[in-house]
Amino acid sequence: PGLPSLAQSQAAWFPVGTIGYTGGLSGVQGDLVTKHFNSLVAENEMKWSALQAQPGVFTWANADAQVAFAKARGMKLRGHTLVWHEQVPAWVFQDASGQPLTPSPAAKALVLQREVEHITAVLNHFAPHVGSFYAWDVANEVIDPAQPDCMRRSNWYLLTGTDFIDTAFRTARALLPAHVKLYYNDYSTTDVPKLACLHKLVAGMKARGVPIDGIGHQMHISLGYPTPVVVGHMVRSLASAFPGISQQVTEMDIKISDNGPFYATYEDIPPAVHAQLGYAWRNYFNTFRQLGGLIDSVTIWGQADNHTWLSSGSRAEAPLLFDTALKAKPAYWGIVDPS
Ligand code: XIL
């Protein structure tokens, strides 16, 4: 109470989103989402394994709860994610007797058919609410810059080549109205080899007439790396290579460090580090705003440090804007009051 709304503070530039997760949309956590964010993405509830764990058996309740929460508050929705090598059940890549498929024309046809059926079922299910959606992550993390062709050796790739990407975007485009933009989403997009691969991937898709509207930069980053200047260069390089392409920050959080100071518990993280994180959030958001519309949405991968995918393991992190007691941190103030 009394705090300015984070999303309202950025309303002149872009919507500010966060994740919804099952159990995290009620009570004070739900109030935090309602007050400070105007865009929502399901943390896990719209992934393949959440929606179709068994062939042809769909489970919608948790995803529907996310949509209902957003709609009741007039929040926009990002869909996440139709095709990914993680959180996809093993059966997708198995034959009728449960054996792993091996590459063949028949295996490729079967996997692509399953992909089309899944995407069709998902998008038909959410069709009554499509007016609330503005973006959908169609393909997630298909790049591996260590491979000569830039493609991650996922089951998708091993069984279909790059066709699973084109098929996903074409299927989604045929089912979604034009206001729902279609994204390729990935992490570490500032890394030089990865960015080169991203350029190559999008250029190839464009050359093949694949309907991609945008690039999602996950922005799971660390204190000090990549610098805001490097982020700005990355965004501008893609904007100039692909005029009119949308770019969004889709999953931002900031780790203290992969190899720097180690704090075993949350309480060990000193105020000076919270302040450093605050300056970092301020500087990134200054950059996002200065990019003048090239970044058209920013989503933060959580609300408060009480729920973050980075908290597993022995290293304490403080990657979000509110603390474990849901109090605003310097990270919040760095965005809302960057002066
Ligand atoms: C993460 C969730 O936050 C975790 O709860 C889950 O266990 C694994 O997935 N890139 C993505 C997100 O695109 O979907 C991931 O979310 C984080 C990395």
Q: Is the pLDDT of residue 1 over 80?
A: no
Average pLDDT of span 217-237:
97
pLDDT band at residue 204 under the 50/70/90 scheme: very high
> Which residues does ligand 1 sit against, CB inside 6 Å?
43-44, 140, 218, 251, 309
Domains and CATH numbers, the chain: 6-255+292-305 (3.20.20.80)
DSSP 34-65: HHH-SEEEESSTTSHHHH-SBTTB---HHHHH
Q: Report pLDDT for 262.
A: 87
Complex ipTM: 0.99
Q: pTM to 2 decimals?
A: 0.98
Say whether 10 sits in a helix, a strand or coil: coil
Mutational pocket test of ligand 1: of 301, 317, 320, the residue with most ligand atoms within 8 Å of the beta carbon: 301
What span, in angstroms and rounded, lies between the C-alpha atoms of 65 and 83? 21
Distance 320 CA to ligand 1 centre (A): 15
Average pLDDT of span 71-83:
98
Whole-number average pLDDT of the chain? 97
Whose CA is closest to 220, among 28, 19, 59? 19
Write the burial class of residue 51 (CB in 10 Å: 0-12 exposed, 13-18 middle, 19+ buried): buried
Whose CA is closest to 21, among 83, 89, 80? 80
pLDDT digits (tens, 9 = 90+) for 139-149: 999 999 999 99
Which ligand 1 atom sits nearest the alpha carbon of residue 250? 13
Average pLDDT of span 13-40:
98
Mutational pocket test of ligand 1: of 19, 21, 44, the residue with most ligand atoms within 8 Å of the beta carbon: 44
Q: Is the pLDDT of residue 330 over 90?
A: yes
pLDDT band at residue 313 under the 50/70/90 scheme: confident
Residues, the chain, total? 339
Q: Which residues contact 200 (CB under 8 A, 6 or more apart)?
A: 150
Please name the residue whose Cα sits nearest to atom 3 of ligand 1.
309
Please name the residue whose Cα sits nearest to atom 9 of ligand 1.
44
pLDDT digits (tens, 9 = 90+) for 255-297: 998 766 789 999 999 999 999 999 999 999 999 999 999 999 9
